[in-house]
Amino acid sequence: MDRQHTRSPLARASGLGSAKAGVEHWWAERVSAVALVPLTLWFVASIIAHTGADHATFIAWLRTPLATILMILPLIALFHHTALGLQVIIEDYVHSGAKFAAVIAVRLGCFALACAGIVAALRIAFSG
Amino acid sequence: MPDSTPKRPRPLSPNIQIYRPQLTSVLSIVNRITGVILSVSAVVLVIWLTAAATDPQAYAAVQGAIASWIGQIMLFGCTFAFFLHLCGGIRHLVWDTVHGFELRSIYASGWAVVTASVVLTVAAWVASLVLAG
């Protein structure tokens, strides 16, 4: 007799179903989206303003504290939002055993990329 | 546990192959596709930032790849995907406040997303080209 059979129907149902951790996921996706609206617009505007700029000019701008902060903040919000969004897509379309592995891979990959991006921004900020 | 396996195959839910594409359904899947495109772009963003942190040569190599014609086409696609996802996302945030669900509003906001995305993409590239001289 496995565990599923020894438990009552109520015990099996409680805490499961559609409201498992969906609210937190849904809410985090919205909060990160709201944060990303001004942060990404700032980023795109900054990139446009630096079209054709050489490495020294670009670094000189990115080294300013405000530019560093406004580069790190969107990296955090972006990869949080990316992990949440890709997880939903995987859960909707992947129904094999690869689903679990794919969600974990996306989550860890987003952590690694956010970390790499933040380190790059800090290296520029504290260089020289 | 009760056996939930159907005794005979049941009809599947509406098949997307036999449905005429509508603005609502197209924008729904576009928000997902642009999300995936932007996820890939985010990887390029980290590569670009890491190159800038490494040295001028690495930065020049990445900038050169972006400046190539294929790089520019991809960057243009990314820009359009970004504005589509941004405007579509704002539309979703408005929906989350339980506003704009009337059929008229849904089509009005849908066309607004398409128009705003095109205008913003063109504006961004015109601004960039003007500043580049």
| Nearest C-alpha neighbor of A55 from the set B61, B73, B44, B65 | B61
CA distance B42 to B44: 5
The residues, any chain, with a CB within 8 Å of residue A46's CB and separated by 6 or more, are: A61, A67, A70
Report yes or no on A45 lying in a domain: yes
Report yes or no on B103 lying in a domain: yes
Give B129→chain A minimum CA distance, Å. 8
What's residue A15's pLDDT? 59
Each residue of A13-29: pLDDT tens digit?
665 656 567 788 999 99
Report yes or no on B4 lying in a domain: no
Contacts of A62 in chain B (CB under 8 A): 52
What residue in A sits closest to B57 (Cα-Cα)?
A: A55
Contacts of B52 in chain A (CB under 8 A): 55, 58-59, 62, 120, 124
CA distance A90 to A47: 31
For residue A28, give the CATH number of its domain: 1.20.1300.10
Instruction: Report in angstroms the alpha-carbon separations of A116 from A110, A119, B43, B53, B95.
Output: 10, 5, 10, 11, 35
The residues, any chain, with a CB within 8 Å of residue B50's CB and separated by 6 or more, are: A116, A117, A120, B58
Report yes or no on B2 lying in a domain: no
CA distance A64 to B59: 19
What's residue A19's pLDDT? 58
Q: Is residue B120 over pLDDT 70?
A: yes
B71 to chain A, any CB pair closer than 8 A? The answer is no
End-to-end CA distance of chain B: 71
Cα A14 → chain centroid: 30
How many distinct structural domains can be found in chain A?
A: 1
Q: What average pLDDT does chain B have?
A: 91
Q: Is residue B79 over pLDDT 90?
A: yes
Q: What is the DSSP letter of A17?
A: G
Check A113 against B128: CB less than 8 A apart: no
- Six-digit token string for A21: 């951790």
Report yes or no on A10 lying in a domain: no
Q: Is residue B65 over pLDDT 80?
A: yes
B16 to chain A, any CB pair closer than 8 A? The answer is no
CA distance B30 to A127: 41
Report yes or no on A6 lying in a domain: no
Mean pLDDT of the region B104-130: 97
A97: domain range?
Answer: 18-125
Q: Which residue has the higher pLDDT, B68 or A5?
A: B68
Mean pLDDT of the region B66-86: 97
What's residue A100's pLDDT? 92
Report yes or no on A11 lying in a domain: no
Report yes or no on A117 lying in a domain: yes
Q: Is the pTM of this model over 0.80?
A: yes
Check B49 against A121: CB less than 8 A apart: yes
The residues, any chain, with a CB within 8 Å of residue A24's CB and separated by 6 or more, are: none
Determine contact, residues B44/B81, Cβ cutoff 8 Å: no
- Six-digit token string for A7: 């438990």
CA distance B116 to B74: 20
How many distinct structural domains can be found in chain B?
A: 1
| Helices of type H across B1-102 | 23-54, 56-67, 69-96
What's residue A128's pLDDT? 66
ipTM score for this prediction: 0.86
Report yes or no on B1 lying in a domain: no
What's residue A22's pLDDT? 77
Each residue of B12-54: pLDDT tens digit?
766 667 778 899 999 999 999 999 999 999 999 999 999 999 9
Give, for all 128 residues of chain A, the pLDDT tens digit. Answer: 455 567 777 777 665 656 567 788 999 999 999 999 999 999 999 999 998 889 999 999 999 999 999 999 999 999 999 999 999 999 999 988 899 999 999 999 999 999 999 999 999 999 86
Check A51 against B1: CB less than 8 A apart: no
What's residue A11's pLDDT? 72
